[in-house]
Structure 1
Amino acid sequence: MRTKTLLLTLLLTAIGAVNLGAAATKLTVKMDATSPTMTIVPKGGETPIETGEPSTRIYEFDIDKGEYVLTAYGKDGETVSGTIEFKILGDSLEQQLTVLTNTLAVTNKKADNTSWVYGEDYTINTIVRSREGADQVVTLGNSVTAGRKTCLAFNGNTIIATFVPSDEHRKEGYTDNVQSRTLTAGVTVSVKIPMGGYYTIPVPKKPVLS
């Protein structure tokens, strides 16, 4: 009898340990005014997890250990502001993410006074880096304001944006413009891609130096 009781106790203890290890994490996601809503899918998946509705742009829900992709949406509820990946380690009962939307734009004009077009006249390369030095996996999105791109980051991240002229504009002498910001709120980075780069200067075969 004692042996059966001991075995039952050990079995219940083991089940309790398994359940404790598999306990979901309570995740709080704080969005900003630029991107007030979001969805989350497991990395590699397609079906969003249940997050409930936000209260003043704040979501609270239980989530299992794993890797996820968060997609944020602009004020119109349709424009995708971008995506950012994150991990739930499962080593704490609560975790919090503050999502910041950063707006990126160039002010360059064409000869007809129209603005440069993303993907035609320039592109933007972004690095989003955590406080610990790890690079976040992100994809650029679009602002609800035409002609602007957006990039997601978490509070405390550093965003490094390189505004790159097209090959045609680079031949004209335009060069990269690199901007870096450490974030405590979403920022707008609006820059002009400058003229610069390398120049070829003809030198006589027998130059006279003075």
Structure 2
Amino acid sequence: MNVVQETLWAVARGLPLTVGIWLASVATGVVVGVLIGCFRHFGPRPVNALLAVLVETVRGVPFLVQAFLLYYGGPFIGLDLTPILAGWLALSIYAAAYFSEVFRGGFRAIPPGHTEAARLLGLSTPQTIARILLPEMALSVLPALANLAVILVKETAILSIITVPELTFTVSGVGSATFAFAQTMAALAIGYWILVELTAWGARALERAIARATLGTDRAAIA
């Protein structure tokens, strides 16, 4: 088997896991990020302060260090995780910290009168968030969420350091075995470029769909 065949086989083996971990981490990060954003915006000051410290800690430490500490340092505190589970958890925590800031900014950008109107109508805080605030800010925060999703695609490469058999790990293995580093790294770059472009295309399609649903217009100019 030549280098090209080995590289393509490595891409075929690593790509599904890369996409799977990325999608699972984005989904988890969005859910947890919404919850953190809600608690920081609507919760009492002590809760806001505690969450702010946690978020800034995650945002201030490089993701490589976080993944390394979670996987290799976890057993010292009784947290013995498989590489895939540790990779998903590390990326989810990292995503949630950044997503929470996007949602918190989205909540703050909504005019206070909208929240007050919801209270006058007798809506509870959870109902106000679900029926008024989240739909209203969905379109405005989507570009920022899409940019973070693109960043997370590329951050999956770091999971190779904890032996997650994702795209970078499998393709780098071919390069180490064949010494064809230029060819394998070029294939790796092309693979991530395709993932990033597909993510950006999906985000633009979703943005247009939300625009049609909320504004009754197709934002075709947003490309």
Relative to the length of structure 2, the TM-score reads 0.23
Greater fraction of residues in strand: 1
Structure possessing the higher radius of gyration over alpha carbons: 1
- The structure whose RCO (Cα within 8 Å, separation 6+) is larger is 2
